[in-house]
Structure 1
Amino acid sequence: MVKKQNQRKVLAVLAGGLVLGVGVAVTLAVWNDSEFATGTFTAGSFNLEGSTAGDVDANYSDHNVDDGDTAATLAFDLPADIVDNMSPGDAVYAGFWVRLAAGTTTGADLVAAGTTADPAVSSNSEHLGYAIYALAPGATCNAASAVGTPIATGATLDAQAGVTTVPLLEGATAAVAGTAVQLCFAVTADATLEQGLETTATWEFTATSTD
């Protein structure tokens, strides 16, 4: 009988040990760890500038009338005296250089974005047509170079058609401006040009970053 009682005690102790073992498993510590990452993002810079001379850096500036600047005045002086005394069939030419300013961090696509002109009732805007050409570096804007496919045309000064894109490259470093592209304007009077009227037109160009 004593032997059986001792056996029961042993079994009871073993049972208690099993219960204790389960209790240890439940109370084990749970470890966790975290990783964090942060990023800083700096926007690039972008600026299109123009010049009616194009040969010296100092000649370039902004001409954005939407921001309060004054539009660049094109020098239509080839051939001499015609621009102030145009007759039916005459054509005049003027160059305008555009480039991405120093500090610009991406290339761009340039397009002619529209034109405005004096009202036809008081000007010759309906009797003057135009074409704009992108010239090769070093070319002179005249009848000989204003050939090929224009980047924009207008049957009148207040119309625009045939728009094509001109690629612009940023400078090699942030301190250097991009390569300039000369736009050659050719304006031609039609056979019904009216005498004595003065007409002003303004063209807009938009550059959009490619990156």
Structure 2
Amino acid sequence: MVKKQNQRKVLAVLAGGLVLGVGVAAVLAAWNDSEFATGTFTAGTFNLEGSSTGNAGYSDHNVDDGDTAATLAFTLPTGVVDSMSPGDSVYAGFWVRLAAGTTTGADLVADGTTADAAAGSNSEYLSYSIYQLAPGATCNAASAIGTPIATGATLDAQTGTTTVALLEGADTTTAGAAVQLCFVVTADAALEQGLATTATWKFTATSTN
């Protein structure tokens, strides 16, 4: 009888041990661990600037933001007096580039033009074309050839726009390569004497990235 009672105690202890083991396993299964990741997102910068000389003097000329438009230095061909007559064409270069710190390339388009009211000016008797020139070219009759990037039958109209690619600088302290645009304004036979006419062209650059 003693042996049977001892055997029952041993079995009872083993049974208790089994229950204890299950309890330990349940505690281990409740452990957990987590990982977290964070990211900081900094926007790049984007700025188009222009110059009427191409050598220096690049700055912002965004009339929409309150800046003053760049003044184009139109010149008549050699041998023509310093005033326009019917059939004359005048030429002016304008350089655009992406400012230092700009972090993406851009597509540039001529984005409209405004001119003095026709009632008191020659805006309806002056047409224009704008060409993209090769690096180092001079804006004149010899270089203003090919397909223009924009045209207007009058100074307050625009047709035929073509995109101009602009590249960002090699690093954040370097401006992108400048592109020269050549403006050609031509007077038609109805040009009225003595009138001064002012036109303003708008260009818009849109980031490509």
Please say whether Structure 1 and Structure 2 have the same fold, judged by a TM-score greater than 0.5. yes
Please state how far the C-alpha of 1:65 moved relative to its aligned partner: 1.0
What pairs up with 1:1-211 in 2 under 5 angstroms? 23=23, 25-28=25-28, 30-55=30-55, 57=56, 59-79=57-77, 85-211=83-209
In structure 2, distance between residues paired with 1:94 and 1:16: 100
- Contact 2:128–2:186 (8 Å) recurs in 1: yes
Quote the Cα distance in structure 1 between the aligned partners of 2:44 and 2:20.
66
CA distance in 1, matches of 2:149, 2:177: 18
Q: What per-residue deviation string (whole Å, max 9, x for no partner) do you get for residues 70-125 of structure 1?
A: 10111112326968622211111100011111121211111101101111111111
Aligned length: 209
Q: Which runs of 4+ in 1 moved over 3 A?
A: 1-29, 80-84
CA contact under 8 A between 1:112 and 1:206: conserved in structure 2? yes
Note if contact 2:108-2:165 (Cα within 8 Å) is conserved in structure 1: yes
Q: Which amino acid aligns with 1:102?
A: A
Q: What RMSD in Å do the two structures reach over aligned CA positions?
A: 2.4
| Identity value in percent | 82
Alignment partners' CA distance in 2, 1:83 and 1:204: 29
- CA offset at residue 60 of structure 1? 1.1
Report which stretch shifted further, 155-164 or 169-178.
169-178
Residues 82, 92 of structure 1: 8 Å contact kept? no
Report Cα offsets for 1:139-180 as digits up to 9, x if no partner. 110111111000000011111111111111111222211111
Q: TM-score, normalised by structure 2?
A: 0.87
Gaps of 5+ in 2: none
Deviations 1:9-57 (CA, angstroms, capped at 9, x unpaired): 88777766666665555455511111111112222121111111102x3
Distance 1:129 1:145 in 2: 18
What are structure 1's unaligned runs of at least 5 residues? none
